[in-house]
Amino acid sequence: MAPPLSRRTLFRAAALTATTASTADVKRSVAAPATRAGASGAPAAWTVRPFGLEDVTLGPGVFAGKRQLMLDHARGYDVHRLLQVFRANAGLSTRGAVAPGGWEGLDGEADGNLRGHYTGHFLTVLAQAYRSTGEQVFADRIATVVGALTEVREALRRDPAVLSVEGRFGRAAENVRGSYQYVDLPATVLADTPALTLSAWVRPAHGAAWARILDFGDGTTRYLYLAARNANGVPRFAVTTSGPGGEQGLDGAVPLPVGEWSHLAVTLADGTGTLYVDGAAVARNTAITLTPAALGTLADHWLGRSHFPADPVFAGALEDVNVYARALTAAEVAGMQNRRAADTPAGRGDLASYAFDETAGAGFADASGRGLDATLRRTWGAPSHPGFLAAYPETQFIELESMTRSDYTRVWAPYYTAHKILGGLLDAYLATDDDRALDLASGMCDWMHARLSVLPATTLQRMWGLFSSGEFGGVVEAVCDLYAITGRAEHLALAKLFDLDRLIDACAAGTDVLEGLHANQHIPILTGLARLYDETGEQRYLTAAKNFWDMVVPHRTYAIGGTSSGEFWKARDVIAGTVSDTTAETCCAYNMLKLSRMLFFHEQDPAYMDHYERTLFNQVLGSKQDRPDAEKPLVTYFIGLTPGHVRDYTPKQGTTCCEGTGMESATKYQDSVYFARADGSALYVNLYSASRLTWAEKGVTVTQTTRYPKEQGSTLTVGGGRASFALLLRVPSWATAGFRVTVNGRAVPGAPVPGRYFEVARTWRDGDTVRISVPFRLRVERAPDDPTLQALFHGPVNLVARRPGPEAVRLGLYRNAGLSGDLLPSLAPVPDEPLHYTLDGIELAPFAEGTEDPTHVYVRRSEPRVIFGTVDSGVANPARGDGTTLLDEVWAGAPFHGKEALVARVRSTVAAWVSEGLLSRADGDRVVSTAQKASYAR
């Protein structure tokens, strides 16, 4: 009988439907694909099924400790800061919130063209936290974010509306930074006037250069404008009929204060222009020969927008804007400092007059008597589909469709950002059943389908092949999950629109084309393909994913489990040659774990879980700093593998992709500890981690008690009623020192094989106890392109040397190696600090510890003399041309059953080296004699 897994357990996405359909319609559609997916709802192609985060509780240990730090961060971080960029894009009040730094703000890298992605990550974190802990605070925070995003989408669907705020005299109209809104005036404002006065109260919210208070013009050749700040930060007025080179202008003396009201006025008549700030003349130009009349008929008359597309929209508030067909006197301008123009001798502008007293709608009344009412608009128009939701304009998506070259400063992965938002919304729905989250997610997918389905296949292939700009993350996986629930054809069609054929075809054919590719752009593509196989049965998708994994593991995988160098892949099996300060991007580790997990659902190759353990227990744990922080999640971006590298836990001012995935990793550590065979006949124990599984379908619990990896084993206790199933215990590939299992104190017969699962099948009863013993050995892993560059492992734990660089740490490890081949006897344990050792005064500690100590993941092996059991033969340790030494060849024969077997190995090895002329006979005799004299640890 298949385990009754909930939708939360099986899918991280929910139903997707057209925006014309109601949420009830979506829920009714869930039943449609049930037959195809199987009674449990999981894809029929999955031969094992995961448990939900709510089904597995972490016990005390390193995972619980790291998670607690992230849960505390998620509880306390102000989610309104994350919503700031969404609200701004929709022209809504940002409630005084300040956007996070780094990639989430307009001042971040590439002007924040990735903003919004972090909010999606944070929603996923909140959803995972709620499912794991059941704490209401996380559900409440999800509701806040989802509610705000619902308001944002509604605002984007309709025409922009005035954001009314307190003004200098009454009300004012605010344009929040990032809103892309402006005021559009009728075309007849200037009316061929030969003289002019422009008057406005302004409260800038940002010091951006070239933001226009007003700009009347016909493109970038004929125009006049008043800017709050020029390149030097001071106000500027200019008029021209020949573009920037022909501007005749006026420049202020000092910047306008940000966040404060200032009055600006420009008068122009008889060849003289004067610029006033707060009633005082600050600039005069008697050589302005151009008049508004000289400009002729102008197409556009804008408040807050420039005719130069690269210039920012004015961020701040406007009040009492007046345009006069004459030059006001200095006294008239000065008289406006404490009253509205209408209440001064100057009166309202006779060409146009806007008080901005409106508190709703998109229109602004003209009080000049000319009836030139203005309209609030967006610079980018309106969304192409009512389901659109983003923290920036749809222009990012539109421009991508015509791009032929990568340029992330113009377009930076808009579909990647869309995926993160979509994924967060779907996770939120699955965790809380909030129909609004489902509706938002559904709308986003409908919008993506509407946008992409009309594009030629050649355009799609070009888009998805663009580095960075065309990156789309794991959107295919999410959409496939949706299709599995709804069964709607357009959902499957959407998923297939992201096919990058040249990558799929090459990987399916087993052709390694990864060199030069951006790693994290491509890893989630293959996870999506594995899901696409589930829904289409198209074998090339799954074959491509499996072959791709084999191209990365181990051929492009560092000791800690990570991959990529400077975000890209280099040649196959080049590890030492790619070590740098920018190796092992943390997002890559996150996504390779997702891919490994997904492939295991299809084929239970223990290698997938071996990689999972390596990466989770080393890079993923070590990427989270071991201290609390309310402002930052403290997660690495790159993990440098150069000698003495110090991890940076606040990269790029925060809110990067890796901090997003790092937060997610830290709130789902338990997601792959246990899997169930699809027919319910077996339970896979993939990881040894303190935890408690509630297997509802079987009516049992499985509690795992362990301090692993500080403890070399684990104890599993079955609770509840009787249940028959096989317990499948993963025997790590490194477990060459033995793997022993007892049930209720009695040894289980059989010979566990490293790199496989060991089966214990029985009818389990309440209180049955399984004890697993898995002794660790200290071993080295050599870089394939330089065997002298080595990483140290004690069981699953990467031990790093802690010492400043830049010189590599050199270690000799054979001096007291045990007959088993264990190198640990050469190290001295640090009292009361498990997994900490010293050698030659150098501390060795687990990589997983999130410290700021300078570390050496890789060390240089240095065995200058032949030593056995701490007895020095006095003979130099010779080496072959490939770097393999005499001692390497001797110890390659371990384990040895006794001293005699070791001496026999030494004797045969020495004879071979002597015959090859690599060692003198006399030195060979001394080596053999030393091996005979020495005493050895087991």
Pairing of strands 855-856, 316-324: unpaired
Residue 855: beta bridge partners?
645, 802
Q: Are 779 and 796 in contact (CB under 8 A)?
A: no
Residue 25 has pLDDT above 80, yes or no: no
The beta strand positions in 293-447, using DSSP E, are 300-303, 316-324, 352-354, 363-364, 374-378
Average pLDDT of 588-595? 98
Q: Are 626 and 69 in contact (CB under 8 A)?
A: yes
Q: Are 875 and 929 in contact (CB under 8 A)?
A: no
* The amino acid at 295: L
Q: Going from the N-terminus, what domains does the chain have, and what CATH number goes with each?
A: 7-150+386-666 (1.50.10.20), 163-378 (2.60.120.200), 674-708+713-773 (2.60.40), 776-861 (no CATH), 863-938 (no CATH)
**Which strand (E) or helix (H) includes residue 596?**
helix 586-602
Q: Are 778 and 847 in contact (CB under 8 A)?
A: no
Angle, in degrees to the nearest 10, between helices 435-452 and 136-157: 40
Using only C-alpha atoms, what is the Rg of the chain?
34
Residue closest to 862 by CA, chosen among 817, 816, 827, 811:
811
| SS3 per-residue string spanning 684-747 | EECCCCCEEEEECCCCEEEEEECCCCCCCEEEEEEEECCEEEEEEEEECCCCCCCCEEEECCEE
Q: Are 281 and 185 in contact (CB under 8 A)?
A: no
Q: How far lies 375's CA from each of 38, 105, 183, 364, 459, in Å?
A: 55, 28, 6, 6, 36
- Distance, in Å, from the CA atom of 904 to the CA atom of 912, rounded to the nearest integer, reads 13
3-class SS of residue 57:
strand
The beta strand positions in 818-904, using DSSP E, are 828-829, 837-839, 842-846, 855-856, 859-861, 865-868, 871-876
Query: Global pTM?
Result: 0.94
Reported as a single tens digit per residue, the pLDDT across 790-834 is 999 999 999 999 999 999 999 999 999 999 999 999 999 999 999
- Distance, in Å, from the CA atom of 397 to the CA atom of 390, rounded to the nearest integer, reads 10
- Distance, in Å, from the CA atom of 884 to the CA atom of 786, rounded to the nearest integer, reads 10
- Distance, in Å, from the CA atom of 20 to the CA atom of 536, rounded to the nearest integer, reads 27
Reported as a single tens digit per residue, the pLDDT across 460-471 is 999 999 999 999
> What pLDDT shows up at residue 491?
87
Pairing of strands 236-240, 248-251: antiparallel
* The amino acid at 935: S
Reported as a single tens digit per residue, the pLDDT across 243-260 is 999 999 999 999 999 999
* The amino acid at 5: L
- Distance, in Å, from the CA atom of 570 to the CA atom of 561, rounded to the nearest integer, reads 16
Reported as a single tens digit per residue, the pLDDT across 153-180 is 999 999 999 999 999 999 999 999 999 9
Q: Are 606 and 733 in contact (CB under 8 A)?
A: yes
> What pLDDT shows up at residue 10?
43
DSSP letter at 568? B
Residue 185: beta bridge partners?
301
Cis peptide before 255, with omega less than 30 degrees from 0? no
* The amino acid at 97: A
Label residue 41 by pLDDT band (50, 70, 90).
Answer: low
**Which strand (E) or helix (H) includes residue 127?**
helix 117-133
Burial 441-460 (b: 16+ CB within 10 A, else e): bbbbbbbbbbbbeeeeeeeb
Q: Are 548 and 509 in contact (CB under 8 A)?
A: no
Q: How far is CA 47 from the centre of its chain?
A: 29
**Which strand (E) or helix (H) includes residue 586?**
helix 586-602
Q: How far lies 616's CA from each of 400, 425, 522, 577, 808, in Å?
A: 35, 26, 20, 24, 26
Output the average pLDDT for the chain. 94
Query: For the chain, what percent of residues have pLDDT higher than 90?
Result: 92
Q: Are 98 and 104 in contact (CB under 8 A)?
A: no
Residue closest to 652 by CA, chosen among 111, 107, 103, 121:
103
**Which strand (E) or helix (H) includes residue 171?**
strand 171-175
Average pLDDT of 844-857? 98
Sequence-distant (6+) residues with CB within 8 A of 240 are 221, 222, 223, 224, 246, 247, 248, 290
- Distance, in Å, from the CA atom of 61 to the CA atom of 774, rounded to the nearest integer, reads 18
Average pLDDT of 427-448? 94
- For residue 76, the number of C-alpha atoms closer than 13 Å in the C-beta half-sphere is 12
